[in-house]
Chain A
Amino acid sequence: MRLRFVLTRLSLLVVTVLVSSLAIYGAMFLTPGDPATLLVGGSRDPDPAVLAQIHREYHLDDPFIQGYLHWLGNCLQGDFGKSLVYRDSVAGLIGTRAADTLALVTYAAVIVLVTGTVIGTVAALRGGRTETLVTTLTAGAMAVPTFVMAVLLIWLFAVQLPWFPVYGSGEGFAGTLKHLTLPAVALALTWIGYVAQVTRTAVRAELRSEHVETARSRGVPEHAVIRRHVLYNASGPVLAVSGVGIAGVIATAAVAEQAFGTGGLGSLMIEAASKQDMAVVQAVSLIFVVVFVVINTTVDLVSAALDPRVAQKGAR
């Protein structure tokens, strides 16, 4: 892989995070009124002495750029400020919930990647009725929003068939798994659709490609043709859509967390936003942006390692 490509991607990552952090920080000043009232949270009239203290702590009276750099510097050191609503450090609030979200997102991502690629590949290889069936079902899965799917799943698997708990995040590994299954499935279904469709198309295209004809003309065994030429070459687009899928799961995690009451960063952000707890919203937004960009960069780098032409095009 070209070193230049890696460096370009990494610097793009840094630039993206910086630009988004600027937007996240700046949003506080775009809202009408004194930013300090947002940081206090709530809509009641706050104490002027508290406001003055916040102005000092958050460097709100400094020029914008200085205040921003100060905030960013603190964030980089893991200090996201204090939530006046929860009366706790933002870092502490995030820490306990990040683990829940990580578990849910990982669970959903595994379901998306495994199910999506497997049924997409099977559909392309088998063709005929299997392919039609998979295409129809995945198109349906893509069309159903997560919150509708959440309600359906609760009704079916928690109320009608009492297989899974309706609420909470559970104790221990088995308990967590049991509690997170329904939210993870609700989150995953839409993205399974996307990953399966793209996998099917990519595998189809490779099956028809000339270089696969060459491999067959040389007597390469069919299983090797599929593995070394069809699946290997299809992995580029599959990887790309998987990255989008995982990012999408993270973005919609809040919906599932709210619907199933599992708690996590997503539901923390929703709560914080409704209570106008700006410090928490900023911190969680920044974390989401970083995770997003890191996932996308990883996908780009792995794609380039698999097919060097990607790196050549990208570096130009």
Chain B
Amino acid sequence: MSATPPLLRIDGLGIDLPLDGEPRPIVHRADVVIPEGAAVALVGESGSGKSLTARAVLGLLPAGARLHGDVAFAGESVAGMAPERLRRFRAGEVAMVFQDPRAHINPARSVGDFLIEGLTLTRGVRAADAVRKVTGILREVGIADAERRMRQRPHELSGGLLQRVMIAAALAAEPRLLLADEPTTALDVTTQEEVMAIIAEAREARGLALLFITHDLELAAAVCDRIVVMYAGSTVEELPAGHLRERAAHPYTRALLSSRPSVFEAGADLRSIPGRPLSGFEVPDGCAFSDRCPRVRDRCRSERPAPSAAGDSTAACHFPYTAPAEEAGCHA
């Protein structure tokens, strides 16, 4: 570990949520490191705990949640922040772009109200200055008639436009880290590309670090420097995006890769991973993936694998793949 701490370090994070009055582990063990200015993708199926992990970065967990491990921003523990410090942290250092802008932007207030609120209410910026600033950012994210849009209400804007508004609101806070929680999932395909391009541009222009949460491995590899794969509440593999296709070591990562339709292999059968994804609290004593894994052995069912580093990547598996993957080579 170097002398200066990374921008974000999620270290052995566990989250228990009360379910029927009893605390149930939803996230078991999440490890993510994001250096200043880097882009990291957190990939997993629905229910794998990736969104909850991102919310833990903001200290934005549901009531009754219990936290293990640590989330540290530039060396400072988020859980240890006093309320006022946490508010300033949310207002100026981290910003989140949510999945569904239609639900996540107050439908009863004007777009302009939403945009300037982050500046006027949290930092005491004068309304006129805030308007000038967000108008500029709206143009930057490709909204030409910014003044008119500011006066409109969210229901008058399309989903893609509204997601740009959300991104503009996040950028207006001048954060050092952008959390994007499936920012394109609620949009149609052509809009998805535009929105991803806007995020990539903004990141480049501002030197922003990005935690990109998605279920789409290939999109993650295209946008980010490093990939973290999460399954049933645990991060199972961490590797450079460029190594994803050939050097993925965890059977779950390989299974995910081969269950995606490819444009280069037209006519090939679409494979699915046998079994169903587990929620964090359903996980057995051994490896969470053991029931669905083609390489499972007795040890996998009794002993949970710890993450272990090999070269540039880390995998939590007793029997990781070591040979480079050939196309579809990972299936028995």
17 A–B contacts, CB within 8 A, in A order: A211-B107, A216-B90, A217-B60, A218-B117, A218-B118, A218-B122, A218-B169, A219-B91, A219-B122, A220-B118, A221-B122, A228-B106, A229-B109, A233-B106, A309-B107, A309-B108, A312-B155
- Nearest-Cβ distance from residue A68 to partner chain B, whole angstroms: 44
Decide if B103 is an interface residue (CB 8 Å cutoff).
yes
Chain A residues within an 8 Å CB radius of B86: 219
| Bitwise interface map of B from 67 to 79 toward A, beta carbon under 8 Å scored 1, else 0 | 0000000000000
Docked pose: A288 CA to B92 CA in angstroms: 56
Return the contact of A217 from the options B58, B106, B109 (Cβ within 8 A): B58
Q: Is B297 an interface residue (CB 8 A)?
A: no
Contacts of A236 in B (CB 8 A): 108
Determine the chain A residues whose CB is within 8 A of the CB of B60 once the complex forms.
Answer: 213, 216-217
Contact call B108/A210, Cβ cutoff below 8 A: no
Main SS of the interface on chain A? helix
Interface residues of B in 23-79 (CB under 8 A from A): 58, 60
Determine the distance from Cα of A219 to Cα of B108 in the docked complex, in whole angstroms: 20
Chain A residues numbered 214-233 whose CB sits less than 8 Å from any CB in chain B: 214-221, 224, 228-229, 232-233
CB pair A211 B104 closer than 8 Å: yes
Q: Which residue of B lies closest to A217 (CB)?
A: B96
Give the chain A neighbours of B98 by CB distance below 8 A: 210, 213-214, 217
When C-beta atoms are compared, the residue in chain A nearest to B117 turns out to be: A220
In the complex, whether A100 has a CB less than 8 A from a CB of chain B is: no
Query: A312 contacts which chain B residues (CB < 8 A)?
Result: 155
Residue on A with the closest CB to B87?
A219
Category for how many chain B residues contact A: 20 to 34
Known A-B contacts A219-B88, A220-B121, A224-B121; A309 and B104 likewise in contact (beta carbons under 8 Å): no
Instruction: Name the CB-closest residue of B to A312.
Output: B155
Q: Roughly how many angstroms separate A309 CA and B153 CA in the complex, as a whole number?
A: 9
Query: What is the CA–CA distance of A216 and B58 in the complex, to the nearest angstrom?
Result: 10
Tell me which residues across on chain B come within 8 A of A220, comparing CB atoms: 91, 117-118, 121-122
Does B100 reach chain A (CB closer than 8 Å)?
yes
Inter-chain CA distance A307–B109, complex, in Å, is 8
State the Cβ distance, A88 to closest chain B Cβ, in Å: 51
- CB pair A213–B104 under 8 Å, yes or no, is yes
Alpha-carbon separation in the docked complex, A214 to B95 (Å): 10
Docked Cα-Cα span, A307 to B153, in Å, equals 9
**Which chain A residues border B106 with CB–CB below 8 Å?**
211, 214-215, 228-229, 233
Bound Cα distance A220, B118 (Å): 7
A257-316 CB contacts (< 8 Å) to partner B: 306-309, 312
Residues on B with beta carbons closer than 8 Å to the beta carbon of A218: 90-91, 95, 117-118, 122, 169, 173
Which residues of the other chain, B, contact A228 by a CB distance below 8 angstroms?
Answer: 106, 109, 117
Contact A210 B103 (CB under 8 A): yes
Please report the C-alpha to C-alpha distance between residue A221 and residue B104 in the assembled complex, in whole angstroms: 17
Q: Which residues of B contact A224 (CB under 8 A)?
A: 121
Do A221 and B155 touch across chains, with their CB atoms under 8 A apart?
no
Interface: A74 (CB within 8 A): no
Asked whether any CB of chain B lies closer than 8 Å to the CB of A16, the reply is no
- What residues of A have a CB within 8 angstroms of the CB of B58 in the complex? 217
Q: Given known contacts A211-B103, A214-B98, A220-B121, is B90 in contact with A307 (CB within 8 Å)?
A: no
B110 — nearest CB in chain A belongs to which residue?
Answer: A308
Which B residue's beta carbon lies closest to that of A232?
A: B108
